[in-house]
A = this chain, B = another copy of it.
Amino acid sequence: MENEGRGLHMKVLESLGPAIAAGAYPAGTVLRTDELEERFEVSRTVVREAVRVLESMQLVESRRRVGVTVRPAERWNVFDPYVIRWRLAGADRPRQLRSLTELRSAIEPAAAALAARFATPAQCAALTEHALGMVSTSRGRQLAAYLVHDIAFHRQILTASGNEMFARLGDVVAEVLSGRTHHHVMFPDPDPPAVTLHVRVAEAIREGDAVAAERLTREITVGAMAELEVLAPESGQPAGRG
C-alpha cells in the first residue's frame, strides 16, 4: 500500500479510522466537529472531508444537532480496503484474519474454476511461472522471494477468473499472505506438499480442468484455514454450539 499522507484530511483519516476500527470509540460515541478541529489542529473543511469519507465507509454517521456518531460494527463497510487494513492493524486482528481466510476459502476455489475456463494463454504462462518460482524458492530460507511468487500466483488466479470483484480481492489476499509470513518470521521453508499443490493448480487451469482446479485450490485454502486454527484456535466465533 503506497498512499500515505496525501492531503491533510488523510492525516485525520489515518488517525481516526484505525481508532474507530479498533473499537476505541464504542458505538454511539459522538465526536463533535469542532472538537476534532481542535484535536487535529485543522480547519473545519478538513475535518468535514475526513468525516465524509468515514461516513461513506459507514464507520460514522453525521447528524445535525447531534454530532458525528460512531456506528456499530455491524454497519461498517468491512470490504473497504481501508477498513480491512485498519482492523488488521488493530485489536481484532485475529477475528479479521479469520474472516479473511474464510473469505479466501470461499472465493479462491471458485476463482480457480472460472480461471480454468477463461484464462488466456498469457495468464496461464504467468501462473505456471509463479508456481515454478515458488518451487525454486521453497528451499534455502528464501521466504521473501517465495512470498512474492505466492502473492503473484494467487492474484493471477483471481484476475484470470474474469470476475472483477474476485480480482479486487487480490490486495486482501496479498495482505493476508504477507502478514502470515511476517508473523512467524523465523520459520523454516514452506511445506513441499503445499508448493506442489500450486503447481498442480496451474496445470489444471492450463488444461482447462475447472473441477480439478477448484478441488486443488480448495486443498490450499483448507491448509490456510488449518494453519490459522493453530494460531488462533476457535476464537473470534460467536458462542454457538461446538
The interface of chain A, by Cβ under 8 A from chain B, is 9, 45, 48-49, 52-53, 55-57, 73-74, 76-82, 98-100, 102-103, 105-107, 109-111, 114, 117-120, 161-168, 208, 237-241
What residue in chain B is nearest A55 (Cβ atoms)? B53
Complex contact A165–B45 (CB within 8 A)? no
Q: How far is the CA of A114 from the CA of B9 in the complex (A)?
A: 39
Complex contact A120–B238 (CB within 8 A)? yes
A240's contact among B119, B164, B165, by CB below 8 Å, is which? Answer: B119
Q: Jot down 14 A-B pairs with beta carbons below 8 A, ordered by A.
A: A45-B48, A48-B49, A56-B56, A56-B57, A56-B80, A73-B164, A74-B167, A78-B168, A99-B165, A103-B107, A103-B163, A106-B110, A118-B237, A162-B238
Complex contact A110–B120 (CB within 8 A)? no
**Chain B residues whose CB sits within 8 angstroms of the CB of A77 once the complex forms:** 79-81, 168
**Chain B residues whose CB sits within 8 angstroms of the CB of A107 once the complex forms:** 103, 106-107
A53's contact among B53, B102, B111, B162, by CB below 8 Å, is which? Answer: B53
Complex contact B238–A118 (CB within 8 A)? yes
- Given A80-B77, A238-B120, A241-B208, decide whether A102 and B56 contact each other with a Cβ distance below 8 A: no
Tell me the minimal C-beta distance from A229 to chain B in angstroms.
13
Q: How far is the CA of A106 from the CA of B48 in the complex (A)?
A: 38
Complex contact A56–B82 (CB within 8 A)? yes
Tell me the minimal C-beta distance from A1 to chain B in angstroms.
13
Q: How far is the CA of A162 from the CA of B102 in the complex (A)?
A: 11
Complex contact B79–A165 (CB within 8 A)? yes
What residue in chain B is nearest A51 (Cβ atoms)? B49
Complex contact B241–A78 (CB within 8 A)? no
Complex contact B165–A74 (CB within 8 A)? no
Complex contact B56–A240 (CB within 8 A)? no
Tell me the minimal C-beta distance from A59 to chain B in angstroms.
11
What residue in chain B is nearest A98 (Cβ atoms)? B163
**Chain B residues whose CB sits within 8 angstroms of the CB of A239 once the complex forms:** 120
